Amino acid sequence: MRAKAIFLAGVLLFVPAAFAQGKGGSPQRGQQGQAQQQKQSGAQKGSGIQQRDRERIRATDQQRTQIRQCTQAAERVRTQAREMAQNAEGANFNAEQAKRQREQLRTQYEAMHQEHQRLMEGLSAEQQTAVQEQKRQMDQACERIKTQLGELDKELAQPAPDRKRIAKQAREVELAMNQWEQNHRKVSGELGVKP
């Protein structure tokens, strides 16, 4: 009778250990497997939350149109600044032509800036939060552009404008526009708009 009890106790101890090995090798591995399943479940819940967040900040059709218009306007500003710098560096520099280019540059910049402001003002609170760092950097780039446009005004008001300064200031506008466009692309990405 005693031998039967010992045998039965041994079987009762052996069966759970064998069962755990069949599922994962050891009781600890079985626990690790459960922990991994819980982590995966949590990650799936997290990605579901991220997906809902993405949907809340996705651009409307009107915002998509505004983003495209901003992109096109920014390209025109950058191109105009580059052409102005090239003309100032060229052998046939003409101060009157530089003044006309400066006016075109200012007009194009103001149109781009107004379009950008309309876009930013039309964003929901959640969208504004998602793009606040890019907006801050874009605002800094705009301040640099305004400063350089002011410097261009001063230089072109001189009786004999210095073409090297004009070229440098126009290049600075182009560089600031590059920074602006990089952040604009990030804003587009955050709002789910592909270039």
In whole angstroms, give the CA distance from residue 85 to residue 167.
Answer: 4
| Helix H or strand E encompassing 123 | none
The pLDDT, as a whole number, for residue 26 is 47
What does pTM read for this prediction? 0.70
Q: Residue 39 contacts by C-beta under 8 Å, 6 or more apart in sequence?
A: none
The pLDDT, as a whole number, for residue 48 is 44
At which residue do the structure tokens 């651009």 appear?
A: 59
CATH number at residue 128: 1.20.120
In a domain, 93, yes or no: yes
In a domain, 27, yes or no: no
In a domain, 78, yes or no: yes
Question: Over the stretch 99-114, which tens digit does the pLDDT of each residue have?
Answer: 999 999 999 999 999 9
The burial of 22, by beta-carbon neighbours within 10 Å (0-12 exposed, 13-18 middle, 19 or more buried), is given as exposed
The pLDDT, as a whole number, for residue 6 is 57
* Number of domains into which the chain is organized: 1
Q: Please list, residue by residue across 127-149, b when 16 or more beta carbons sit within 10 angstroms of its beta carbon and e when fewer do.
A: beebbeebbebbeebbebbeebb
Which residue range forms the structural domain that includes residue 76? 58-190
In a domain, 29, yes or no: no
The burial of 154, by beta-carbon neighbours within 10 Å (0-12 exposed, 13-18 middle, 19 or more buried), is given as exposed
Ranges of residues in the chain whose predicted pLDDT is under 70: 1-56, 195
In a domain, 38, yes or no: no
In whole angstroms, give the CA distance from residue 154 to residue 174.
Answer: 18
The pLDDT, as a whole number, for residue 23 is 47
In whole angstroms, give the CA distance from residue 114 to residue 117.
Answer: 5
In a domain, 109, yes or no: yes
